[in-house]
Amino acid sequence: MNAYSVFLHIHSGLRYVVLLLVLLAIIRAWADWFGRKAYSEGNRKLNLFALISVHTQLLFGIVLYFLSPFVQFNSGTMKNFDSRYWTVEHLTMMIIAIALITVGHSRSKKIVLPEGKHKTIALYYTAALLIIVVAIVVSHRSLLGMTS
């Protein structure tokens, strides 16, 4: 098994952790925001673990980016769907999603009222998840299936 295959399997498998943690953080944030619940240590940890998981996924993705045979820098890159998607589009969408999660997490830490903390996490993490799902769907690969 070569380095590309190893990192591809790690990156593909880690997406389940990322999706689960981000989805749980979103569900809890929306429920606690509308339920007017206190912002607990459990909320903080879940949001932080979601943040850590997307940043870890980014690190593996960066390594994979430079190992991937689909990432190409030549005159045909933008003309070919696979090379354009993996060279430009996937990376761009995922960085935007990770930035939204990072900004949302950072902003929520500065807010005093629990409703504001929950609202910030709910809105930023939801926007990020939508971008992540779109990025995966646009790839023509299954949302939960392993890539080849």
Task: Examine residue 145 and state whether it is found in any structural domain, yes or no.
Answer: no
Helices H / strands E in the chain, number of each: 5, 0
Residue 144 has pLDDT above 90, yes or no: no
Task: Examine residue 147 and state whether it is found in any structural domain, yes or no.
Answer: no
Total number of domains constituting the chain:
1
Task: Examine residue 49 and state whether it is found in any structural domain, yes or no.
Answer: yes
The whole-angstrom separation of Cα 8 and Cα 27 is 29
pLDDT digits (tens, 9 = 90+) for 50-95: 999 999 999 999 999 999 999 999 999 999 999 999 999 999 999 9
CB 119 within 8 A of CB 33: yes
The whole-angstrom separation of Cα 55 and Cα 85 is 21
The whole-angstrom separation of Cα 131 and Cα 109 is 23
pLDDT digits (tens, 9 = 90+) for 113-134: 999 999 999 999 999 999 999 9
Q: What is the CATH number of the domain that holds 79?
A: 1.20.120
Q: How many CB atoms lie within 10 A of CB 16?
A: 10
